[in-house]
Amino acid sequence: MIVTLAAAAFAATWTLTPKYPDGREVKSSTVVETTAVQTGAPTSNRQVVEARQVVRGAPDGSATIEVTVSKFENDAADGSLDMGVLVGATYEMVLAADGTIRSVSGLDGAIRQAIARSDLPEDQRQAAEVTMLAMSGDSSVARSYGATNQILPTTPVGVGDRWTRQMIAPMPFGMSITFTYACALASVDGPLARVACTVSGELDLNPEALARAVESMFPGASAAIPREVLAQQIASAIQVKQASGNQNFIFDVERGIVVSSASEIAISVDAQGVPQSTLTKTNTRNLIVAGP
């Protein structure tokens, strides 16, 4: 009897599938801290608090969620970005049944309106728009919100089971990282399942897109350095680009939602012959308080 019970407990599995009941209200608080590893100096600290509500579900299991930004603080090292202009902005996201992001809309327009109403000098507005869209526009939110959902297992798992997921994460200014997540279900306590992942990745700088971004931020730059030349300089200067780190999160199996997550990702490059110089380390913490 004891052996049978032990075997049954050992064979228990859980399904980590997102759920979107109509009317569910969620409060999300996210803190992102980025540090320059060589100096130890912070390059940016960001805190975002949002209220989310599921406004309608679809027969295929997808859902439309309305999001309102109630707090947005971004302390960049140069003090140039006032992201507080996004407080009060409302945008919409559509999630697929498996939790992956389908679309985000509304933030790009809010950013452009905020810049238009700002007292920024005209010659600084274009650079501010490019930077803010890259950091907090529709595509930026889509990649950051969808990341955890995309690494959930696609089949039921038991404690100790492992799975691997791969995803391409767009980054600002045309860059992207292809992440590989090697995950395991570490433990289950009541309805809470703890997942631990190691993360590796390859960074695609996209030199041509970076050169275009420089032109957008600094009109007239191409007169000093043609875009093709700048792209070649970027490509030759940085050869090997890697990301590594870890991500852990807790998933509420009964309610079908990630209630907390924490990650630490370091980006390293081989820049101009200096092998594996670690540029930045980013720590992200996310706490979610959800209704039924």
Question: b/e per residue, 276-285, with b = 16+ CB within 10 A?
Answer: eeeebbbebe
Q: 138-174: buried (b, 16+ CB within 10 Å) or exposed (e) per residue?
A: bbbbbbbbbbbbbbbbeeebebeeebeeebebbbbbb
Chain position carrying tokens 């101009």: 272
Mean pLDDT score of the chain: 78
**206 vs 151, residue with greater confidence:** 151
Count how many domains the chain has. Answer: 2
Final residue of a structural domain among 120, 150, 180? 150
**pLDDT tops 60 at residue 51:** yes
Determine the structural domain holding residue 124 and report its residue range: 46-150
Tell me if residue 144 falls in helix, strand or coil: helix
Same domain, 145 and 181: no
Residue 103 lies in a domain: yes
**For residue 159, what are its two tokens?**
């404690």
CA distance 45 to 191: 32
Last residue of a domain, one of 103, 131, 150: 150
Q: Are residues 163 and 276 in the same domain?
A: yes
Answer for the pair 289, 27: CB distance below 8 angstroms, yes or no.
yes
Residue 184 lies in a domain: yes
211 and 278, same domain (yes or no): yes
pLDDT, tens digit, 9 for 90 and up, residues 152-171: 898 999 999 999 998 877 66
pTM flag (> 0.95): no
Contact criterion met (CB below 8 Å) for 175 and 204: yes
pLDDT digits (tens, 9 = 90+) for 237-273: 565 567 889 999 999 999 998 899 988 888 776 655 5
Amino acid at 114: A
Question: Which residue among 150, 181, 199 closes a domain?
Answer: 150
Tokens 């060589």, residue located: 38
pLDDT of 276 reads 47
What digits encode the pLDDT tens for the residues 72-119?
Answer: 887 754 444 566 777 888 999 998 887 778 889 998 998 888 888 877
Backbone angles phi, psi at 144, to 5 degrees: -75, -40
The DSSP secondary structure of 199-218, one letter per residue, reads EEEEEE--HHHHHHHHHHHS
Q: Say yes or no: 81 and 176 in one domain.
A: no
